[in-house]
Amino acid sequence: MDHGHLDIAGAAFWIFIAVVVAASSWEKARRNAEKHETLRRIIEKTGVVDETRLKELFAPPPSSEWWKSTPSPPGSGYRALRILGTIVMGFGGALAILALLIRQFGPSRSQPGSTIALSMSFAIAFLGLAIFLASRYASLPPGQGNGRDR
């Protein structure tokens, strides 16, 4: 087995991570420098620093708490779990079909890889079923009760 390609792939992964970290820190420093430049220009033009503008300029962005600031509509968790469960079950089923096709039409009939792939596809399908069934514990969308309000 040639391990040379694995070393290059590992190095490429860590180089990618380093580039992402460097780019995000550069963007944060650039944004901070723009805020200071804006403050300097306000002081040059007016000569006075307005405390409310200063707090507004250097306040942390409200997007850091996006999950608290935007309430989700009732029933969105129910729908999300149903959709995600269906997608994961479909993916597991597609992998099972692929594993069965490989087993049936592959070069040798007893391929251990197809058995492992078949087992993994069943595990993925059961995970999707668990996600789908977990939607029973989420709040229902309006108008979907026990059949009385339809």
pLDDT 10s digits, 101-146? 888 887 766 667 778 888 999 999 999 999 999 999 888 888 765 5
**Domain map (residue ranges) of the chain:** 4-69, 76-137
DSSP 26-91: HHHHHHHHHHHHHHHHHHHHHSS--HHHHHHHHSPPGGGGHHHHSPPPTTHHHHHHHHHHHHHHHH
pLDDT at site 148: 45
pLDDT tens by residue, 50-102: 777 777 777 766 555 555 656 777 788 899 999 999 999 999 999 999 888 88
